[in-house]
Amino acid sequence: MSDFYQIESVENVDGLTHVTVRVNSEHDICRAHFPSKPITPGAMLISIAIDLVTSEKGATTDVDELKNVKFLSPHNPVAQPRLTFVFDAAKSPVDVSVMADETAIAKMTLVI
């Protein structure tokens, strides 16, 4: 999965961590998930969120529970390769928002 996305920036704004990643739109997952109109699979959005939050928290364990997952808009990795994951790693559980520019893509809560 390390070649599915790349971290471009990490910023702390008003106590929240903003991690911007670039999705590899040429990855086999993107090509296979609706070849004529690619959509980033929801499972990949969840996986990236887990990677980023556990890394930021310094957690060595897996997520215990995933709650309140909502996919709000489909994400086309060709048209909008950048995603921003916003969360407060100091809180538990951790609420995560996923944005592409000004478009809300997904929301979820991770219990670590």
Is residue 31 scored above 80 in pLDDT? no
Overall pTM surpassing 0.85 (yes/no): yes
**Segment 58-75, tens digit of pLDDT:** 866 678 899 999 999 999
Q: Say which DSSP state 49 is in.
A: H
CATH number of the domain that 18 lies in? 3.10.129.10
Sheet of 82-87, strand order: 5-13, 16-23, 82-87, 94-100, 103-111, 65-71
Is pLDDT larger for residue 78 or for residue 12?
12
DSSP letters spanning 1-36:
-TTTEEEEEEEEETTEEEEEEEE-TTSHHHHHSSTT
Q: Is 93 exposed, middle or buried (0-12, 13-18, 19+ CB in 10 A)?
A: middle
pLDDT at 60: 67
Q: What's the residue count for the chain?
A: 112
pLDDT in tens, 33-61: 566 778 898 999 999 999 999 888 886 66
Number of domain units in the chain:
1
Mean pLDDT of 70-98: 93
Q: Which domain holds residue 61?
A: 5-111
Quick one: pLDDT at residue 78?
85
